[in-house]
Structure 1
Amino acid sequence: MTDILPKEVRAGLEEARKRDLRKRSRLRVMVGDEVYPILRFWEDGFALDADQVLQLRGLVDIYDGSRHLWQCLIIASEVEEGELICVMKRSTAALDRAPIDYVRDENGPVGYLPRS
């Protein structure tokens, strides 16, 4: 159906589709000081707007609003139909506390009371 539409109308429809995807998605990728909205996200990759960024590789952080979700290593990115498709080699869940390197006792104390 879009083959019979004029080029300007198709470009307008594509821009409206991208704008709608950016509004609906809260996911963002942060690279240094730059922040880009994620249009689509799947298990081993995600898509960005190719008008905003043309190439992306290396270590990035993914946020849902202000909450840090993952730290990801991007190994490949290519532009397809106006979207930058990024493939992740790994994604590590971000924790709000340091990992422990010992087994915690289930019945151990939760905290200590100061001596009076």
Structure 2
Amino acid sequence: MSEYLSKEVREGLELARKAGLKKRSRLRVRAGDASYPVLRMWDTGFALDSDDTAHLRGLVDVFDGTKHLYQALIVASQFEDNEVQFEFKRSTAAADKAPLDYDRPDDAPIALLPR
């Protein structure tokens, strides 16, 4: 089908597709002060727009809106169709509290009340 469309129409369709993916996705990657919208995400990585992304690598934070999902160590793996695909070398789920050093029983008291 693409051989029947002119080059300008194909470029316009690609720009519209990328704009739709950016607008629809709440996922963002933040590296330092810069923030990039995620076009697609899967278990072992994600894809960003190659026009917006400088050579991104290292430690990044992945957000869904304002919710912090992951802290990840990434590396660029593929460049295809105006997308840069990144793979996770390490991905750690973000938690809102520190992990415990022991197993807490389900019936443990939450607090102690003074007498």
Q: Structures share a fold, TM > 0.5?
A: yes
Q: 1:21 touches 1:39 (CA, 8 Å); kept in 2?
A: yes
CA offsets, 1:34-91, max 9 Å, x none?
Answer: 1101000011110001110142211110000000001111133432110011111121
| Distance of 1:4 and 1:105 partners within structure 2 | 66
Does the residue aligned with 2:79 lie in a helix, a strand or coil?
Answer: strand
Q: Which amino acid aligns with 2:56?
A: L
The alignment status of 1:63 with 2:66, answered yes or no, reads: no
SS in 1 for 2:15: helix
| CA shift for structure 1 position 114 | 4.3
List 4+ stretches of structure 1 deviating above 6 A.
none
Q: Which residue of 2 aligns with 1:37?
A: 37
1:56, 1:77 within 8 Å by CA — same for their partners in 2?
no
Deviations 1:80-109 (A, max 9, x none): 110011111121100000111122133321
Identity score, percent: 57
Give the aligned CA root-mean-square deviation in angstroms.
1.3
After TM superposition, the structure 1 = structure 2 runs for residues 1-116 of structure 1, keeping only pairs within 5 Å, are: 1-114=1-114
- Report if the CA contact (8 A) 1:54-1:84 is conserved: no
Name structure 1 gaps, 5 residues minimum: none
Letter in 1 for 2:75: I
SS at 2:104 equivalent: coil
Which one is further off, 77-86 or 26-35?
77-86
**Deviation at 1:19?**
0.5
| TM-score of the superposed pair, with normalisation by structure 1 | 0.91
Read off the aligned partner of 2:62 and give its amino acid letter.
I
Q: Is the 8 A contact 2:28 2:37 kept in 1?
A: yes
